[in-house]
């Protein structure tokens, strides 16, 4: 790209809307033919304002897509054992098809132990080790929602991944690590970076695809973006700021996601789509 060109913005909002419409149509078919609507259970520990808002938004989106939602609000003092009991109960409840544990749950909760209490067939948020293994080995299962949304965006914009160098900045268990595995499964060459990576700028400069998912505002500088690269900003920081210096990257990238309106809407769209898929699997629904 020449210095006067600007990158094409990847519109996650429009794509997510289409995905939700497709999920809603499928949910309606399941409801008509089985007499049961897909149901997502959301579990929230405490009253963190951001978490309360996120859960409310997800429940609203469920309602618009014809997906029932069951909300379990637990007190902040809930122990790990009590949370696991709740999740076990939902896993064994045939009327619940998907389970979402809103996190973080609080420093006193063993989140990994809690995640593992979710039955794999109901892990529509893709947070269990079973789901991570499925992503790693390209086996049937549910993907982590944000990585799944990223991959769907790349597909929508015809980004060829085979042989490309993808740099993932971030190593969380539900974003950085799984998105790297999904990229690898599409024959990309993947480099993981993180907060302690030496000379991060030099590595980013070699990337054909950059996935920023570290949670630090504008950590990725525009001048470090390789001309013509694809930039996926999965960060969200105070003030609607991503992990990439968006304005500076515009004149170098070929494709870039905005914040907001890029990866964020895709996360919820994947969650709803996977809830409908989980319901279809559990109800034995097959398209005629």
pLDDT single digits (tens) 232-283: 999 989 889 999 999 999 999 999 999 999 999 999 999 999 999 999 999 9
**Structural domain count of the chain:** 2
Q: Are 149 and 260 part of one and the same domain?
A: yes
Q: Is 109 within a domain?
A: yes
Residue 194 lies in a domain: yes
- Evaluate whether residue 271 is within a structural domain: no
Same domain, 179 and 251: yes
The total number of residues shown for the chain amounts to: 288
- List helix spans (H) across 186-252: 200-204, 246-249
DSSP assignment, residue 142? P
Q: Which residues in 124-229 belong to E strands, given as ranges?
A: 165-169, 189-193, 209-212
Give the pLDDT band of residue 193 (cuts 50, 70, 90). very high
Give which of 240, 238, 196, 203 is closest to 220, Cα–Cα. Answer: 203
CA 187 from chain center: how many Å?
Answer: 21
User: CB-based contacts of 96: which residues, under 8 Å, 6+ apart?
Assistant: 39, 40, 41, 70, 90, 122
Cα 264-269-275 angle, rounded to 5 deg: 135
C-alpha closest to that of 182 among 204, 154, 203: 154
- Whether residues 237 and 160 share a domain: the answer is yes
SS3 229: coil
- Is residue 136 assigned to a domain? no
Question: Full-prediction pTM beyond 0.85?
Answer: yes
DSSP conformation letters of 55-100: HHHHHHHHHHTT-EEEEEEE-TT--HHHHHHHHHHHHT-TT--EEE
Domain assignment present for 95: yes
Residues designated catalytic: 58, 102, 125
Q: Is residue 86 one of the residues assigned to a domain?
A: yes
pLDDT band at 286 (very low <50, low <70, confident <90, very high): confident
Taking the C-alpha atoms of residue 209 and residue 200, their distance in angstroms, rounded to an integer, is 14
On whether residue 106 sits in a domain, the answer given is yes
Could you say which DSSP state residue 35 is in?
S
Band of pLDDT at residue 195, cut at 50, 70 and 90:
confident
Q: Which residue range is the domain that position 65 belongs to?
A: 35-122
User: What is the widest separation between alpha-carbon atoms in the chain?
Assistant: 58
Q: In CATH, what number is assigned to the domain containing residue 167?
A: 3.40.50.720
pLDDT tens digit sequence for 9-48: 999 999 999 999 999 999 999 999 999 999 999 999 999 8
């Amino acid at each position: 790209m020449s210095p006067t060109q600007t990158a094409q913005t990847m519109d996650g909002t429009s794509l997510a809307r289409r995905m939700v419409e497709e999920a809603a149509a499928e949910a309606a078919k399941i409801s008509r033919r089985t007499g049961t609507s897909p149901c997502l259970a959301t579990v929230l520990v405490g009253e963190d304002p951001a978490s309360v808002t996120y859960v409310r938004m997800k429940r609203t989106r469920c309602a618009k897509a014809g997906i029932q939602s069951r909300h379990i609000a637990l007190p902040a003092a809930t122990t790990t054992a009590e949370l696991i009991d709740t999740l076990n109960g939902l896993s064994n409840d045939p009327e619940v098809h998907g389970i979402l544990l809103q996190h973080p749950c609080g420093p006193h909760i063993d989140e990994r132990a809690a995640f593992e209490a979710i039955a794999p067939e109901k892990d529509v948020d893709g947070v269990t080790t079973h789901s991570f293994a499925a992503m790693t080995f390209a086996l049937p299962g549910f993907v982590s929602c944000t990585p799944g949304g990223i991959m769907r965006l790349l597909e929508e914009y015809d980004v060829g991944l085979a042989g490309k160098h993808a740099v993932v900045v971030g190593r969380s268990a539900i974003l950085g690590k799984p998105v790297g595995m999904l990229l690898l499964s599409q024959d990309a060459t993947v480099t993981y970076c993180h907060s302690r990576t030496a000379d991060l700028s030099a590595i980013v400069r070699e990337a054909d695809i950059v996935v920023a998912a570290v949670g630090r505002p504008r950590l990725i500088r525009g001048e470090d973006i390789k001309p013509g690269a694809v930039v996926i900003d999965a960060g969200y920081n105070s003030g609607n700021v991503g992990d990439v210096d968006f304005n500076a990257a515009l004149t170098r990238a070929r494709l870039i996601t905005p914040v907001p309106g890029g990866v964020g809407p895709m996360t919820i769209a994947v969650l709803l789509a996977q809830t409908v898929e989980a319901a279809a699997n559990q109800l034995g629904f097959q398209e005629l």
